[in-house]
Amino acid sequence: MKMTLKRIFKGNQYTIGKLYIDGEYFCDTLEDVVRPEKIKNETAIPAGTYDVILNMSNRFKKILPLLLRVPNYEGVRIHSGNTKEDTSGCILVGENKVKGQVINSKQKMNELMKLLIKESYISITIS
């Protein structure tokens, strides 16, 4: 499975994107600010292509997608949340119907997990 995240708004407080699965729009995303220099828990990961695995998150106590080999980052996941305070460098899924937020995030995350759990190989390209 190939996921593509297209960042469509890079603001000074958050980043909004669109997530596609195998070329089809799936949902909106919310990330931290894209910056040239990393500020811990406040900076979106670099654009690129990353392998994704599903494994147990100690923080969330459930299986979630984990992006592998993200330069200068550890523990980058795709998960539910609503505001930039929920990101810490991770990718939040949902619907961007409120400025600076995503809503219906848990629902979108559940839908995403149902798709990902069936896959043997997953990658994400962020642009």
- Of the candidates 126, 116, 108, the one whose C-alpha atom is nearest the C-alpha of residue 1 is 116
Count of domains forming the chain: 1
What is the reported pLDDT for 82? 98
List pLDDT tens digits, range 70-93: 999 999 999 999 999 999 999 999
Q: What span, in angstroms and rounded, lies between the C-alpha atoms of 60 and 68?
A: 18
Q: What is the pTM of this model?
A: 0.96
Report how far Cα 105 is from the mean position of its chain's Cα atoms: 11
Q: What is the mean pLDDT of the chain?
A: 97
Q: Which two tokens stand for residue 105?
A: 């995030």
- Residues spanned by the domain of 49: 2-126
What is the reported pLDDT for 2? 98
Helix (H) / strand (E) element for 116: namely: helix 105-116
Helix (H) / strand (E) element for 93: namely: strand 91-94
Q: Name the pLDDT band for 66 (thresholds 50, 70, 90).
A: very high
The DSSP 8-state label assigned to residue 114 in this structure reads: H
